[in-house]
Structure 1
Amino acid sequence: MQRNFTRTLGIMAMAAGISALAPSCTKDLNQSPDYAASSNVVYADPAQIQQVLARLYATFAVSGQQGPAGNPDISGIDEGFSNYIRQYWQLQEITTDEAVIGWNDGTLPQVNTLQWNADNEFVRATYDRVFYEVGLCNEFIRQTSDANLSSRGIPAASLNTVRTYRSEARLLRALSYWHAIDLFGGGPFATETDAIGTTPQYKKGADMFAYVESELKALDALDDNSGALLAPKAVYARADKAVLWTLLTKLYLNAKVYTGTDRSTDAITYANKVLAASSGYSLSPSYANLFLADNNTTDARNEIIFPITFDGTRTQTYGGMTYLVHAPNGRAYTAAQAGIDGGWSGLRTKPALTGLFGSTTARNPNDARSQLFVFQGQNPRVDTLGQFSSGPLIAKYRNVTSTGAPGSNVTFPDTDFPMFRLADVMLMYAEAVLRGGSGGSATQALAYVNQIRARAGASATTAGALTLSSILDERARELFWEGHRRTDLIRFGVYTTGYNWAFKGGVQAGKDVETFRTLFPIPNTDRVANPNLPQNPGY
């Protein structure tokens, strides 16, 4: 598919023909799709509608139409690089104090050092992925309207099920629009109501925030006869009510960044919904098990609220978990330990992270989370970007089960990516309380933090020591390499200035960078094609 799909967001005509993982599409989204089956056929069959929905989920995990490569969703970049989770993770992690990558592919070093511009292909791939998913969701939502379902004779017994599918698509679209707000401060905007072929208008972050908020609240209010989302934990990996509540918690916790208005009280309201006993979530007894090949079947699934699922046989890609398992592997951290056929010798971490556990040269024996660091044979500092020996390794994501058995495929992992999990919600609750939100308590905030620390074997925090600064550090200790760090540092006001790490700004010691780098630029390629798009300040 050519890279012009983001120019007309409302138009991704996806009739999936008809694999859950590999719909066909044309090279020009202003043309009629060339499918073996038309939308009138596909969307008249609830089973095929479910398969199309599965592709909306799979777009976060896979990179193309066949897997692992050869027929990419987007072009202009290597297919493996173009994967949604891979690119989102990179912008959230290697631009921070938690990760560094040693490869020199294209303009990747610019991302590593916070020196990107509006022509950076990795920024562009992330942007394209976000709006590609929006386009897919728009078409699914358009095709599953009540009017279309009625005209295609969907059986009455299936109507509510299909309406729930439609609500899931709306939630996935809201998730991607949140990514657009957080990464780009807005962008081209379209919904299912926009005519196919329409050039989308620009919506700035505050306005997009208002849309996402209203959309999520509307979804939360649906009843069983109008497409209510599934109850929490009803079906593993589905976008259910708990996913919605978690997304609203994140939206509100970051609202002051996005809109200038503190919404900590609202963050507590929706965190409480997830944290309620009736939701059924609990911390996994083992931290390490959250990131293993059977995290979909062990107690880890009781903590993971929204996984992006991977399967070594069915979701083969060089992005996603294939990247996150292979890229940090090499040297003293062997392929056999990771359950794979070979490491890629790329990703490491920085002393800013390891130091949060008490030492930049050794693991903390009293914290299970630091046992995932590999110091053996590594320079504990990051003195050179391109040397894999420079910086500790992290063995967080592995393609082995909790019993030590290898995954089903030694190249493509079975490990699911935990996009949202309970410990994150607990920490968001505590932070919102410390920011002055009502509806929670300092006692409960402290209890949540200490539950998380107790799981890791770390000593309890006292009430006097629980501060916003300590919450930021605890989020790093608990959630490192899970795609949260950039957003966290921006929310705490220390991303661009006042706090530095190795090679920030392109110098080994790190330096302050321009404040406009809290947002990525709108890619020049899209601005040339869509005159409605302004550029973010500074670019």
Structure 2
Amino acid sequence: MNMNNKIKSFFLIFLSLTVLGSCESELDLQPEDNRKVPGQLLDDSAAYKQFLAKLYAGLAVSGQEGPAGNPDLLGLDEGFSQYMRLYWMLQELPTDEALIGWNDGTIADLHGQNWTSGNEFIRTMYSRILYQIAQANEYIRQSSDANLSANGIEESEMAEIQQFRAEARFLRALSYYHAMDLYGNPPFITEDSPVGAFLPEQIQRAELFDYIESELLDIEGKVVAAGQNEYGRADQAAVWTLLAKLYLNAEVYTGTPRYDDVLTYSQKVIDAGFTLVDDYQKLFLADNDVNGAQNEIIFPIRFDGLNTNSYGGLTFIIHASVGGDMDPEEFGVNSGWAGLRTTPEFVSLFPDGADSADEREMFYTEGQSLEINSISSFTDGYAVGKYKNVDVNGNQGSDATGEHVDTDFPLFRLGDVYLMYAEAAFRTNTNMSQAVDYINELRERAYGEGNGLISASAINNNFLINERGRELYWEAHRRTDLIRFNRFTENGVWAWKGDVPQGTTTAPYRNIFPIPASDLGVNTNLTQNPGY
């Protein structure tokens, strides 16, 4: 995913024109490569794949040099400002699945659910999303048929570039999905928006839902067929999975449930040939791109210890979850940052006793107390050893220093699709026998052949939200899931929620994050979300 100087030059000029908040002085920037204009930068068909690589890399790295030194965004430490790290933090830290013992800025406010519109982590995720969208917009703009012709691209090369364009539209839809889910009503820009400094209009959540849906439906037949693209790139299955997730939460976003559509698009993914890996742990190891887990992973955020150096992503999660008596070498890293743990309420979702052992239960308990008397003490609360920078044979990832990791993050995988199908079947009271089969495939992998199996009578709201926790914890689903089940704010309690040791309920307006005060102060077209 490394860009050459030619592509880097392209971004220096174009991102200064497209990213929100650009100023007039930035409009005078010129590309470094002999002051070429965009057409000259993109007169080589190979440049379009390099440009596309930057869009994918934006989910994994935080600047032009790894791990720091030339950031995409200013204002927050480059490790903290990485897309996946921020998204993971906002999806996990406010829930029962994770808390962090650090006191960097306002990070503690995330688990306490007492953030304000000035929270720098909420602000930087918002900026990171809009930055990704701005880049995707520029790719889509520059890869139109008219611009390709103007740049001298041969007709024989255009078909492949149009597939790249469809992937860029998927990545934009993914970021808009994150914006809709996290912030509700963000500013809205597309390839048709003005180039230069302007104040974008705000889009309402239900309208943004319609836009994302229309984009995904339009590119469904334009991306590469399911399972036929390079690992790590979007294909039809990634589009179908995002549609299923969109429809699963439709009632939250629009007020209207769409569970029949969840069944349709989940089944498309299931029928596309993906298979569950035999060992759950393989999904979270350094070789999860080749150890069989790649057949379950539909869309990963890729990491490489040598080529995508960042203090975000899985480098953050693995290092920060190691502390106390834990041996960093066992996790394939050179040190533990001693921050991340889980709550006793989440631990209680897993059964006790050897006869009911769940292989998905990857808590580290030696030297750790179940209860959390002090958030700042790493040994208060069980640690989570789910992710490791070692392969199936225990060998460390490619970075010999143990600083950066090879483990890919499974943003979409078949296990989640099975559970989405099962939930939609339950909510519509249809296809329940199929739903039970999908759940039991997951549970048999977790409990061993013939064990842990359930019948349709066991499926209810409690079972579904708990089973999603057991299967998908620390995979950046929990906040969205709890909101859908109405258990995130006023109907859910866990340790230190609301800054109370035993936990307390919070106000329902916190189901979405605030529009950052810094953007409200600049863009008069924006209205703050209720409650903030």
Question: TM-score, length-normalised on structure 2?
Answer: 0.93
Question: Following the alignment from structure 1 to structure 2, what is the Cα–Cα distance between the partners of residues 267 and 34?
Answer: 47
Matched to 2:233, the amino acid is: R
Q: Counterparts of 2:291 and 2:11 in 1: how far apart (Å)?
A: 32
Distance in 1 (alpha carbons) for counterparts of 2:326 and 2:193 = 51
Q: Would you say the 8 A contact 1:310–1:413 is kept in 2?
A: yes
Q: In the superposition, relative to structure 1, how do residues 266 and 309 fare at CA in structure 2: closer, same or farther (>3 Å)?
A: same
SS in 2 for 1:183: helix
Conserved 8 A contact 2:39-2:150: no
Mapping of residues 334-413 of structure 1, within 5 Å = 334-359=327-352, 366-370=357-361, 372-409=362-399, 410-413=402-405
Q: How does 1:77-156 map to 2 (within 5 A)?
A: 77-156=76-155
* 1:161–1:33 Cα change, 3 Å: farther
Is 1:484 aligned to residue 477 of structure 2?
yes
Q: Compute the displacement of 1:367 (Å).
A: 1.1
Q: Select 1:232's aligned residue among 222, 227, 232.
A: 227
Deviations 1:393-443 (A, max 9, x none): 011111000111110111100000000000000000000111117xx5100
Q: In the TM superposition, what is the alpha-carbon distance from 1:345 to its structure 2 partner?
A: 0.3
In the TM superposition, residue 16 of structure 1 has moved relative to its aligned partner by: 7.4
How far 1:46 sits from its partner (Å)?
1.6
Are the equivalent residues in 2 in contact too, given 1:44–1:153 (CA < 8 A)?
A: yes
Cα distance in 2 for partners of 1:249, 1:21 equals: 38
Instruction: Give the corresponding residue for 1:3.
Output: none
Letter in 2 for 1:414: D
Cα RMSD (Å):
1.8
SS in 2 for 1:418: strand
Q: Report if the CA contact (8 A) 2:391-2:397 is conserved.
A: yes
Per the alignment, do residues 490 and 169 of structure 1 end up closer, same or farther by CA in structure 2, a change over 3 Å counting? same
Comparing 403-412 with 231-240, which one deviates more in the overlay?
A: 231-240
Deviations 1:203-243 (A, max 9, x none): 01100000000111111144xxxxx4343343201111100
Given that 2:9 and 2:31 are in contact with CA atoms closer than 8 Å, whether structure 1 keeps it comes out as: no
Structure 2 CA distance for partners of 1:21 and 1:173, relative to 1, 3 Å: farther
| Contact preservation (8 Å) 2:356, 2:452 | no
TM-superposition CA deviations, 1:40-70 (whole Å, max 9, x none) = 1232212111011000000000011111011
Match of 1:456 among 429, 446, 452: 446
* Cα deviations by residue, 1:301-345 (Å, 9 ceiling, x for unpaired): 000000000001100001111101100012222110110110100
Q: How far apart, CA to CA, are the structure 1 residues paired with 2:160 and 2:262?
A: 30
CA distance in 2, matches of 1:363, 1:398: 24
Q: SS of 2:203's equivalent?
A: strand
Does residue 251 of structure 1 match 2:251? no
1:272 and 2:262 correspond: no
Aligned equivalents of 1:55, 1:133: Cα separation in 2: 10
Find the counterpart in structure 2 of residue 208 from structure 1: 208
Question: Deviation of residue 18 (structure 1)?
Answer: 3.6
8 Å contact 1:22–1:55 — kept in the other structure?
no
The residue matched to 1:419 in structure 2 has which SS? strand
Matched, 1:415 2:411: no
The alignment-based identity, stated in percent, is 46
Query: Are 1:42 and 2:54 an aligned pair?
Result: no
**SS of aligned partner of 1:186:** coil
Conserved in 1, the CA contact under 8 Å of 2:201 and 2:526? yes
Unaligned residue ranges in structure 2 (runs of 5+): 17-21
Distance 1:182 1:21, change over 3 A: farther
Gaps of 5+ in 1: 1-14, 223-227
Matched length = 513
Superimposed CA distance per residue, residues 499-526 of structure 1 (whole angstroms, 9 cap, x where no aligned partner): 2000111101111101100000000111
CA distance in 1 between counterparts of 2:238 and 2:120 reads 30
CA contact (8 A) 1:358 1:364 kept: no
What does residue range 430-509 of structure 1 map to in structure 2 within 5 Å? 430-436=422-428, 441-457=431-447, 459-509=452-502
Q: After alignment, is 410-419 or 463-472 more displaced?
A: 463-472
Q: 1:295 to 1:21 in 2, by over 3 A?
A: farther
CA distance in 1, matches of 2:474, 2:7: 31
Residue 472 (structure 1) shift: 0.7
Distance 2:104 2:167 in 1: 36
Alignment of 1:313-332 (within 5 A): 313-332=306-325
**Conserved 8 A contact 2:351-2:357:** no
Which shows bigger deviation, 251-260 or 29-38? 29-38
- Aligned equivalents of 2:29 and 2:296: distance in 1? 40
Check the 8 A contact 2:184/2:512 in 1, yes or no: yes
Deviation, structure 1 residue 20: 8.2
Mean Cα deviation higher: 113-122 or 65-74: 65-74
Secondary structure, counterpart of 2:115 in structure 1: coil
What is the CA-CA distance between 1:24 and the residue it aligns to? 3.8
Judge conservation of contact 1:307–1:419 (CA < 8 Å) in 2.
Answer: yes
Aligned equivalent of 2:19: none
Distance change >3 Å, CA 321–CA 29, structure 1 → 2: farther
